[in-house]
Structure 1
Amino acid sequence: MPVYKEENGTWRARFYYIDHTGKRRETQKRGFKKKSEAQEYEREFLRKAQYNIDMTFESLVVLYFEDLSTRLKENTLETKKYLMELKIAPFFNKLKLSEITPNTIRAWQRKILQYTNEKTGKKYSQTYIKTMNNQLVAIFNYAVRFYNLKENPCHKAGSIGKKNADEMNIWSIEEFKKFISSEKLINPIAKTGFQTLFWTGLRIGELLALTREDIDLEKKTLRVNKSYQRLKGRDIITTPKTPRSNRIIEISDNLANVLENYFEKLYDLKKKDRIFPCTKYLFEHEIKRIAKAENMESIRLHDLRHSHASLLIHLGVNPVLISKRLGHEKVETTLNTYSHIYPNANISMMNLLNDISAKK
């Protein structure tokens, strides 16, 4: 149907389309400044409705997130949207799907690989680059599956980035004790939270979701069955990252004492109250501030989890037990993530074989 000019001088697009059930429907949109803009809106809408690969990448993004909105946790969806809107879509938005080739993908990859932050002088990490590239692969896989795109151009372009970082920034026990005993670290929430993170390997969202009823001081156990996120000014409690993340882990005598002393200082603490009533910003700010004050190398909050895993590995704990404690879905995840920090694994293996073979 034609577009219409409104009394206020703007243009309105009003037309029919066939929906996914085969039913004929009418739709309209007002407020276009130009007639050509209203006409282009109608053409693009019909391309989307007809699964036409001449629709723009921008239209595909809208369809993609409409589909995912009922399938993903809110925090996961927001993370994907952030990557798409800031790191991917600006490059591809106005291109038609049919115009995007492996060379187009490689041009975007070059831009990502060459990027340098003007303030810090740092490039994207290899793991972050991998995450961005995976998101681009995912949306084209969606187009292949549901919108008749012949093939995913990312496959021919090749991958970039690395799944796991070459090195992890971790603190030894000595470094952590120096940090936690700092006279500058006076906030009891932060101090207790850091000790819990280091001695349990919890994710920060798991820590922030803990309630009083999750801690059993008699049995010295800690239950993980939820995760906390702060999204758009709202407190969001979700299920943990994976099904295996639901777990009960043992805590040391020392950590149990730390938690007991902390609880005694909390006024009228109820069993369903969060024991760390804050956001991760507090911990991110404090770890940088205290590390700087103590002339230490600062690490990320997630590196406290890596530090815990590294400690267990060096103590010779079985990888299966480490995997269960960390809430990994598979033991392979633990092995793949931490294989490079197993101490002198090859030397130990050969020493054992030499000792056995030498015996008569």
Structure 2
Amino acid sequence: MPVYQNEKNQTWFVKCYYKDWQGVNRPHTKRGFKKKSDAQNYEREFKLKKAHSTDMKFDEFIEIYERDCLARLKLNTNLTKKYLIEDKILPYFKLKKLNEIKPADVIEWQNTLLAYRNAEGESYSPTYLKTIHNQLSAIFNYACRYYNLPDNPARKAGNMGKERTKEMKFWTKEEYLKFSETVMDKTIIYVAFEILYWCGIRLGELLALTPADFAFETDTLSITKSYQRLQGNDYITEPKTKKSVRKIKMPHFLSEEVENYIQALYKIDKNERIFQLTKSKLHHEMSRGCKLSGVKRIRLHDLRHSHVSLLIELGFTPLAIAERVGHESIDITYRYAHLFPTKGAEIANKLDAEKEEAMSYVSKK
């Protein structure tokens, strides 16, 4: 029997063997159990995990999922997924055996979330509900792929909620210029918004910028990192995707503005962040600028949409735009086509003109 008692302190311990991923027998010991039954339960659960069996409780599988899957994700993604799991999924499924969870259980869980109302009587948004369900489905998919779970009950139950369908908001060049005039009284804010609008970079990319990222002799900006503040700590990470690592040619006026701004910073190191700002501070300044200028309120990320819309209006190709803003796929760039409802009318007018020209040519013959 692999469960033993320590005669000195009367606690129990487990001593057993398991096969690792190469099929080699390995010893395993776990001490400090107050009860024999606790040690036996631990032994059983440990062997189930090592045998890749789905005959374990859901919360035990989540430990495996977080260790093998979530740990490989970026910190902010990891924390977001862990929150969803611990707050919205585990409370309902944790004591159920993984291989005994049925589509009906998932539907009952969905109904609980759909019925939720906070103190103000507000429900979860359709987008949030879909995000939660997708996370549960991802867990079962992982169990199907690596732990031989027969099927995914979340997929059989069907999704809830829906994808975000909100229209992208953006500023025209005239709206941005009107806004920027109102924030010129704060140089750091003005320069930050200038880079966001005229370069189309992400907020995390902006906040990670250092003097070393600029080559003013060639008006070039290098994007190689991103900044995040998580759980009260600052993190410099890789950019969002591989394509996000890029060099951006700045308009010369912007290059001069940034160079003058950096030169005014007192003894700044070449690898020190030039924008010691928080996201909430920029949100506040955007609200202030919108109120003073009278332009419509958009999100900080919508400045990126505004840059893309400007480039489309100027006639640049989707490929050139994708390379500049760091889209992982050109398909992402094509999603911006709806930003210009007048384009459809322009196309129709040109087709009308083409037909008239063709008919005129035919009639002459």
Shared fold (TM-score, shorter chain, > 0.5) = yes
Match of 1:321 in 2: 320
Secondary structure of the residue aligned to 1:14 is strand
Aligned residue runs from structure 1 range 110-149, under 5 A: 110-118=111-119, 121=122, 123-124=124-125, 126=127, 128-149=128-149
Shift of 1:243: 1.2
The aligned residue for residue 243 of structure 1 is 242
- Contact 2:125–2:161 (Cα < 8 Å) also in 1: no
Query: What is the match of residue 225 of structure 2?
Result: 226
Residue 27 (1) aligns with residue 29 (2): yes
Residues 125 and 298 of structure 1: CA distance in aligned 2, closer, same or farther (over 3 Å): farther
Pick closer, same or farther for the CA change 1:139–1:256 going to 2, 3 Å: same
- Alpha-carbon offset, residue 294 of structure 1: 6.5
Aligned letter for 2:306? S
> Computing the radius of gyration over CA atoms, which structure comes out larger, 1 or 2?
2
- In structure 2, the CA distance between the partners of 1:178 and 1:96, relative to structure 1 (3 Å rule), is farther
Q: Say which SS state the counterpart of residue 300 (structure 1) adopts.
A: coil
2:276 is aligned to: 277
Q: Secondary structure at the match of 1:170?
A: coil
Query: Is contact 2:115–2:123 with CA below 8 Å preserved after alignment?
Result: no
* TM-aligned CA deviation for residue 237 of structure 1: 2.0
TM-superposed CA distance for 1:305, in Å, is 1.6
Is the 1:210–1:274 Cα contact (8 Å) retained in structure 2? Answer: yes
1:94-136 CA-to-partner distances (Å, cap 9, x unmatched) read 221112222223333344444444369463352x444333322
User: Following the alignment from structure 2 to structure 1, what is the Cα–Cα distance between the partners of residues 118 and 97?
Assistant: 30
Amino acid corresponding to residue 264 of structure 1 in structure 2: Q
> Matched residue of 1:181: which SS?
helix
- Residues in 1 aligned to 2:51 and 2:174: alpha-carbon distance in whole angstroms: 63
Decide which of 340, 356, 359 is 1:342's aligned counterpart. Answer: 340
Q: Residues 166-181 of structure 1: matches in 2 within 5 Å?
A: 166-181=166-181
Other-structure match for 1:150:
150
- Once the two structures are overlaid, the 10-residue window that deviates more, 203-212 or 248-257, is 248-257
Tell me which amino acid in the other structure corresponds to 1:342.
F
Contact (CA 8 Å) 2:228, 2:234: kept in 1 or not? yes
- Cα separation, partners in 2 of 1:5 and 1:165, compared to 1, 3 Å: farther
Partner letter of residue 340 of structure 2?
Y
**One-letter identity of the residue aligned with 1:331:** I
What amino acid is aligned across from residue 343 of structure 1 in structure 2?
P
Which residue in the other structure is 1:262 paired with?
261
Structure 2 vs 1, CA of residues 280 and 166 (structure 1 numbering), >3 Å: closer, same or farther? closer
Contact kept in structure 2, 1:113 and 1:124, CA below 8 Å: no
User: CA 1:341 to 1:218, structure 2 compared with 1: closer, same or farther past 3 Å?
Assistant: same
Deviates more, 1:264-273 or 1:280-289: 280-289
Contact 2:170/2:305 (CA < 8 Å) preserved in 1? yes
Gaps of 5+ in 2: none
**Counterpart AA for 1:355:** A
- Matched AA of 1:272: N
The 8 Å contact of residues 116 and 124 in structure 1, kept in 2 or not, is answered as: no
Residue of structure 2 aligned with 1:357, choices 348, 355, 358? 355
How many Å apart are 1:328 and its aligned residue?
Answer: 0.7
Contact 2:133-2:160 at 8 Å conserved across structures: yes
* Residues 168 and 303, structure 1, Cα contact 8 Å, conserved in 2: yes
Q: What is the CA–CA distance in structure 2 between the aligned matches of 1:294 and 1:232, rounded to whole Å?
A: 35
Equivalent residue for 1:308? 307
Q: Structure 1 CA distance, aligned partners of 2:326 and 2:186?
A: 28
Deviations 1:222-274, CA, capped at 9 Å, x for gaps: 11111122234433222211111111122223322331231132112232222
Residue type matched to 1:274 in 2? R
Q: Which amino acid aligns with 1:347?
A: A
When structure 1 is superposed on structure 2, of 241-250 and 273-282 the one drifting more is: 273-282
> 1:298-325 CA deviation, whole Å, 9 max, x = no partner?
4332222222223333444322222122
Query: CA deviation digits over 1:14-48, x for unaligned, max 9?
Result: 2424142441422214366x665554333322322
> Please, which moves more after superposition, 245-254 or 103-112?
103-112
Q: What is the root-mean-square deviation of aligned Cα atoms in Å?
A: 3.1
Number of aligned residue pairs: 355
State the alpha-carbon separation in 2 of the partners of residues 91 and 70 from structure 1.
23
Give ranges in structure 1 of 5+ residues lacking alignment. Answer: none
- Distance change in 2, residues 1:200/1:39 (3 Å): same
Range 135-144 or range 22-31, more displaced: 22-31
- Relative to 1, partners in 2 of residues 1:188 and 1:323: Cα closer, same or farther, differing over 3 Å? same
In the alignment, the residues of structure 1 paired with residue 116 and residue 287 of structure 2 have an alpha-carbon distance, to the nearest angstrom, of: 25
Q: Is the 8 A contact 2:114 2:123 kept in 1?
A: no
Q: 1:271 to 1:24 in 2, by over 3 A?
A: closer
Cα displacement (A) at 1:330: 1.0
**Structure 1 counterpart of 2:45, which letter?**
E
C-alpha distance in 2 between matches for 1:278 and 1:240:
18
Q: 1:90 maps to what in 2?
A: 91
Residues 177, 248 of structure 1: alpha-carbon distance in 2 compared, 3 angstrom cutoff: same
Cα distance change on mapping 1:122 and 1:197 into 2, 3 Å = farther
